[in-house]
Structure 1
Amino acid sequence: MNSFNEKFLERSKYQQKINRKITQCLICERKCKIKKGKTGFCGTRINIDNELYSTIYGNIPLKSVNSIEKKPFYHFHPGTEAYTIGTYGCNFTCFWCQNHNLSHPKTPVIDIIKKEKNYLSPEGLIENAKRNQCEGVSISFNEPTLLFEYALKVFKLAKKTGIYTNFVSNGYMTEKVAYDLIDFGLDAINIDIKGNSELVRKYCGADIEKIWRNAKLFVENGVHLELTTLLIEEFNATKKIINDIIKRVIDNLGKSIPLHFTRAYPCFNSNDYGFN
């Protein structure tokens, strides 16, 4: 642990020992089996003496004040601003990532974190939001599920001060994590529906049915849900994929769920896939 700022280390709430050398992470649906001294796929969970720790608790390299519509949320506290934070790492492999400098930095995440010194406590985050006259806090930019333990503390504090909370997420957390987010005060979530099952499996390394499952779980438990599909030419911007997403939203989530379509621009590894 001496190579880290120990304030960044927080024991992972959900994990399962496989044997004396391997522990499984149960935060997202990748459910990485992590060997001692190694990190999982996202680069933010490390096995120290066969216990998993988050290495990004309070490690917040990006902070900004954003309009709620930028997330996008168009039907949740319109006209307000949210104090927005992000950290490093991601559990997806999207070649078009718009925030790849955080999600997939060229330097391994764990090496970046070892050099980081600035710590933002949950209390400090709420104070920053109040100081900037923000009505809410948002965890965004990279995948917010990676900040799960930190988010729980932030949400609890936010509820006490009347500040709303939201995630902008790929929706790939485990059910236990989703229920904890709800119980601790998640008010709203925007989930990115990146395409059909084949595209999400091939380019994101994920099972889209788990994402639809979580979207329904949030709706059924009173969390405000909006969805976004980033349209990528020659990949998911087909009439069939768009119509299938719309039908799935109406049939499974309801006609009242806002669905945003936004346009992608070439970024990250897009050139490698002919998106330029």
Structure 2
Amino acid sequence: MELINPNFIQESKYQLKINNNLTQCLTCERKCKIARTKTGFCNTRMNIEGKIYALVYGCIPALFNNPIEKKPLFHFYPGTYALTAGTYGCNFSCPWCQNHHISHPSSPILDRIKDEKHYISPKRLVELTIKNHSSGTSISFNEPTLLFEYSLDVFKFAKQKGLYNTYVSNGYMTENVLNDLANNGLDAINIDIKGSAEMVQKYCGADVEIVWRNAKIAKELGVHVEITTLLIEKLNTNQNTIKSISKRICEELGEDTPFHITRSFPHYKSHKFGINEPTSIKSLEKSYKIAKNEGLNFVYIGNVNNRECENTICPKCSNLVIRRTEFGVKSLSLDSKGNCKYCGYPICRL
């Protein structure tokens, strides 16, 4: 461990010692039982002398100043920018991963961490956020839960400066972690509902019911929630899957919960599963119609050239209230509280 920048090593907040050799990580719902000197599924948490330590605290190989719309978060401070940070690793095994270069890099993650020498402290990240004229922070690119302890410290400094904090997540953290995030400054989260229970178990090695549980908990805790489904031909494009997801969003999270149906492109190990083409426009449009028919007011199609699919129409008066460009906003017709300026219907959190 002497080869790793000591700033990157931080004791995990949630863990359970099982015996002299095994300690259980309780950061995400995999709840890995990790032997001494070994790492868990995500390869970013290690058992060092009987305790679990995160190895990526402040290890930020990906840092960009992005429009909030790129998360995507369409109904949260539209038109603003968030300094977006990510690290290595993931607690899912999706073969189509769009950010596999950092979530599942070609060389061992431990070697990548050892090669990273530049440490960005939580305070420095917030300083960079202000320097870049951003309105808040976002932990994204890979699974942000792996930066849980780091996030809590970032949130503290960000709130002191009046900034917002966001996550783009697979939603697989434990309830304790989610509660900590919400109670310490997480303002908004985009959660990826990848598909049916069978699909998520087969391809991601996860239980989608936990993701649904966390989406509901986040909303109950006052976090702004938006949902994304990356549409992948033959895996989650069937009518029943999209109908089921849309219905659950409407019933469990509310009809005004934004739902992003995004186009996927072959990445990572996609070809091994016969995924060789981008999602068809026909599948995207069909899914959009299904979601609208299930009662959702704000449905969007992402990763396509047609910007009309990303505009916001007021569900009450039918006026165009947000016109978007590529990862940005061209015009807003909202009042100071984020309501439709024509009829007062609540549209966004501001």
State the TM-score, normalizing by the size of structure 2: 0.78
Counterpart of 1:275 in structure 2 is 275
Secondary structure at 1:146's aligned position in 2? helix
**Matching residue of 2:121:** 121
Q: What is aligned with 1:159? A: 159
Structure 2 unaligned blocks of 5 or more? 277-350
**Secondary structure of the residue that 1:155 maps to in structure 2?**
helix
Q: State the partner residue of 2:258.
A: 258
Query: Which residue in 1 is equivalent to 2:54?
Result: 54
Q: Is 2:193 the counterpart of 1:193?
A: yes
Determine the structure 2 residue equivalent to 1:30.
30
- Please report how far the alpha carbon of residue 3 of structure 1 lies from its aligned counterpart in structure 2 after TM superposition: 2.2
Q: Which has the higher contact order (CA 8 A, sep 6+)?
A: 1
Equivalent AA in structure 1 for residue 137 of structure 2: V
> 1:192-271 to 2 correspondence within 5 Å?
192-271=192-271
Q: Structure 1: which amino acid aligns with 2:233?
A: E
Once residues 173 and 221 of structure 2 are traced to their aligned partners in structure 1, the CA distance between those partners, rounded to angstroms, is 16
Question: For residue 172 of structure 1, what is the amino acid of its counterpart?
Answer: Y
CA drift of 1:213 comes to 0.4
Secondary structure (helix, strand or coil) at the match of 2:16 reads strand
What secondary structure is seen at the aligned counterpart in 2 of 1:141? coil
Match of residue 143 from structure 1:
143
Partner of 1:43: 43
- After superposition, residues 66-77 of structure 1 pair within 5 angstroms as 66-77=66-77
Distance (whole Å) between structure 1 residues aligned to residue 115 and residue 264 of structure 2:
32
Q: Distance in 2 between matches of 1:159 and 1:116?
A: 28
Give the deviation of 1:108 after TM superposition. 1.2
Q: In the TM superposition, what is the alpha-carbon distance from 1:107 to its structure 2 partner?
A: 1.0
Q: Which moved more, 1:110-119 or 1:59-68?
A: 110-119
Q: What is the alpha-carbon distance in structure 1 between the residues aligned to residue 118 and residue 158 of structure 2?
A: 22
Give the letter for the 1:273 counterpart: F
Counterpart secondary structure, 1:82: strand
The CA deviation string for residues 30-60 of structure 1, in whole angstroms up to 9 with x for no partner, is 0000000000000000110011100000000
**Amino acid of the residue matched to residue 253 of structure 1?**
L
Counterpart of 2:132? Answer: 132
Distance 2:269 2:2 in 1: 35
TM-score (norm: length of structure 1): 0.99
Supply the AA of the counterpart residue of 1:90. C
- The amino acid across from 1:63 in the alignment is L
Give per-residue Cα distances to partners, 1:140-198, cap 9 Å, x unaligned.
00000000000000001111101100000000000000000011110000000000100
2-side partners of 1:117 and 1:250: how far apart? Answer: 46
SS of corresponding position for 2:23: strand
Q: Deviations over 1:181-239 (max 9, x none)?
A: 01111000000000010000000000001000000001011000000000000110111
Displaced runs of 4 or more, over 2 A: none
Question: Within 2, Cα distance between the matches of 1:75 and 1:251?
Answer: 19
Separation in 1 of the partners of 2:182 and 2:188? Answer: 9
Shift of 1:116: 1.3
Report SS of the residue matched to 1:201: helix
Please give the alpha-carbon distance, in whole angstroms, between the structure 2 residues aligned to 1:32 and 1:76. Answer: 34
Whole-Å separation in 2 of the counterparts to 1:158 and 1:118? 21
Gaps of at least 5 residues in structure 1 are none
1:17 CA drift (Å): 0.5
Q: Is the partner of 1:43 in helix, strand or coil?
A: coil
Question: How many angstroms apart in 2 are the aligned matches of 1:52 and 1:204?
Answer: 24
Looking at structure 2, the residues matched to 65 and 113 of structure 1 have their Cα atoms a distance apart, in angstroms, of 23
